[in-house]
Amino acid sequence: MSDQTGLLIIGASQSGVQLAISLRALGFEEPITLLGEENHRPYQRPALSKEWLQGEVGNESLIFRSAEYWDEHNVTLVKDQRIVRVEKNPDGSGVAVAESGAEFPFKRLALTVGARARKMAVDGADLVGVVYLRNADDALALKAIVGDATDVAVVGGGFIGLEAASSLKKMGKNVTVLEYGPRLVGRAVGEETAEYFLEAHRARGLDIRLNARITRFTGEAGAVAGVEFEDGSVVPAQIVLVGIGVVPNTELAEQMGLAVDNGIVVDSHALASDGTTVAVGDCANMPNPVPGSPAGERIRLESVNNAIEHAKVAAYSLMGRREDYAGIPWFWSNQADLKLQIAGLSMGFDATVVRRDDERGKFSVLYYRSGRIIAADCVNAPLDFMAVKNALAKGQNVPADAVQSADPGVQLKTLAVPLTTAAAGGTS
Ligand SMILES: Cc1cc2nc3c(=O)[nH]c(=O)nc-3n(C[C@H](O)[C@H](O)[C@H](O)COP(=O)(O)OP(=O)(O)OC[C@H]3O[C@@H](n4cnc5c(N)ncnc54)[C@H](O)[C@@H]3O)c2cc1C
């Protein structure tokens, strides 16, 4: 059907870039095409809500690799081409067709298509000044209007919303965070961490409203002017930044007949249900990679660390090797002077222990399942983060009772012990 011209990677961001780099490091010799729909060189997203938004770093610092690097490594970069259809043969080869009509033949295919911002469906959502923050174009659109705004409403109290809100506050804006749920960062952290962030952000001047029932965005002359609530009250806003989560880009996978369930379903070697296509990063639903997690548990992660580690697994797969996900998933989120680091995955926890040292501004929550540590949220506590990450990687426990009875000044790493049979039980 097609000229088989090596590997085609659809999606030129964190996962796609890492996949190309890892393949070359492993000695993959076929041509690689790294193709994306955005009209930018591949760039890193995290600073868009933080240092870049605040003007602390410029555009160039976000770019992953130089043009020379890609040339030297025989990787063809294609920008501004949105793939709308893939025709694939059972042997893994095929052709991808772009909206423009351009065709990209391949011998093997990788989907690193990520996720897109979930859209807000209320009256006024189309007004000028209602913006999102998923990609560089979104960020540029926000930056273009931020200078003229006094009041900003951030819809969504998740990581992106809180990072952007903290940046905008630092830039001198009156910022109101509107969260639909009863607490902040509902999806990713437990109650204690959510409560800590609520307290800490309020103390730093963010107006945070939980259980916010938005009915519409009000406008004047086509531009947003405020956010209206069920009780008729209005918060003024010349910018409304919506950060209510993302939707994985699964349309191509669906069109190809691949299994999809909150992401493209892959096995522990990043292979999709056809056995030849790899899918990596934010778009992929994979087996929980943490050693000792319950058999069959699956997860879709949205983090830089996962994009990198998952891409390495996929690179091995494309080289015909079966290697496990290396390391323990981790995540960071910088919000003003609050530096959150999360080690492990807290899903399924049944107990927590809080370590709080207000004098030094440190706060950690340790999560346990059946007596075994599975994760930690650490705010301005990098040593706690490292201790838990290392313990998880070494298959050790940090027993809850030892942490509870220890002074917050005691280093967690000194409390790590080999897993007892009891704590190792209950998981497989
Ligand atoms: C503002 C912001 C701040 C963040 N901060 C942090 C942080 O502090 N820490 C952290 O760990 N993570 C952070 N993240 C998350 C992290 O950036 C993502 O997890 C990571 O980018 C995922 O990489 P990916 O390559 O899997 O997907 P994406 O980055 O979503 O890239 C997918 C690419 O595929 C392209 N694409 C999709 N469909 C098609 C198609 N049909 N044809 C062609 N191209 C297509 C998309 O346009 C996109 O460029 C942040 C994300 C954002 C948006």
Q: What is the pLDDT of residues 146-160, one digit of tens each?
A: 999 999 999 999 999
Distance between CA atoms of residues 192 and 366, nearest Å: 10
CA atoms of 355 and 349, how far apart (whole Å): 17
The domain made up of 7-116+247-318 has a fold known as FAD/NAD(P)-binding domain (3.50.50)
CA 43 to ligand 1 centroid distance, Å? 9
Pocket test for ligand 1, best of 18, 37, 79, 143 (most atoms within 8 A of CB): 37
Q: What is the DSSP letter of 91?
A: T
Of the listed ranges 111-120, 236-245, 411-420, the one predicted with least confidence: 411-420
pTM: 0.96
> Ligand 1 centroid vs 325 CA: distance in angstroms?
20
| 121-157 core/surface letters (b: 16 or more CB in 10 A; e: else) | eeebeebebbbbbbbbebbebbeeebeebebbbbbbb
Q: Which of 8, 9, 14, 116 to mutate to test the pocket of ligand 1 (most atoms within 8 A of CB)?
A: 14
pLDDT of 221 over the 70 cut: yes
Q: Categorize the per-residue pLDDT at 4 as very low, low, confident or very high, splitting at 50, 70 and 90.
A: low
Is the pLDDT at 68 greater than 90, yes or no?
yes
CA of 114 to the centre of ligand 1 (A): 5
* Rounded distance from Cα 118 to ligand 1 centre (Å): 13
The residue whose CA has the least distance to atom 28 of ligand 1 is 114
Sheet with 338-344, strands from edge to edge, namely 330-335, 338-344, 372-379, 362-369, 351-357
Looking at residue 1, what is its pLDDT?
Answer: 44
The pLDDT of residue 255: 98
Task: Give the pLDDT confidence of 176-213 residue by residue, as tens digits.
Answer: 999 999 999 987 899 999 999 999 999 999 999 999 99
Q: What is the pLDDT of residues 164-177, one digit of tens each?
A: 999 999 999 999 99
How far apart CA 198 and CA 378 sit, in angstroms, is: 15
Domains of the chain, residue spans: 7-116+247-318, 119-244, 337-424
Please state the atom number of ligand 1 nearest to the C-alpha of residue 280: 26
User: Structure tokens of 352?
Assistant: 């927590």
- 424: pLDDT strictly greater than 80: no
CATH of 337-424, one of 3.40.190.10, 3.30.390.30, 3.40.1160.10, 1.10.472.10: 3.30.390.30
pLDDT confidence tier of residue 277, bands split at 50, 70 and 90 = very high
> Could you tell me the pLDDT band of residue 426, with boundaries at 50, 70 and 90?
very low
Q: For residue range 348-380, list pLDDT tens digits in order.
A: 999 999 999 999 999 999 999 999 999 999 999
Length, in residues, of the chain: 428
- The CATH number assigned to the domain with range 119-244 reads 3.50.50.60
Q: How far is CA 211 from the centre of its chain?
A: 24
Q: Is 340 helix (H, G, I), strand (E, B) or coil?
A: strand
Does ligand 1 lie within 6 Å of residue 331's CB atom?
yes
Q: Binning pLDDT at 50, 70 and 90, where does residue 3 land?
A: low
Measure Cα distances from 180 to 129, 210, 302, 372 in Å.
21, 6, 21, 33
Give per-residue pLDDT as tens, 342-356. 999 999 999 999 999
Give residue 390's pLDDT band: very low, low, confident or very high (50, 70, 90): very high
CB of 282 within 6 A of ligand 1: the answer is yes
Q: How far apart are CA 282 and CA 300, in angstroms?
A: 7
Could you give the CA distance from residue 21 to residue 26 in angstroms, rounded to a whole number?
Answer: 9
Average pLDDT of the chain is 95
User: Average pLDDT, stretch 324-353?
Assistant: 95
Residue 166 beta carbon below 6 angstroms from any ligand 1 atom: no
- Band (428; pLDDT cuts 50, 70, 90): very low
Same fold, 7-116+247-318 and 119-244: yes
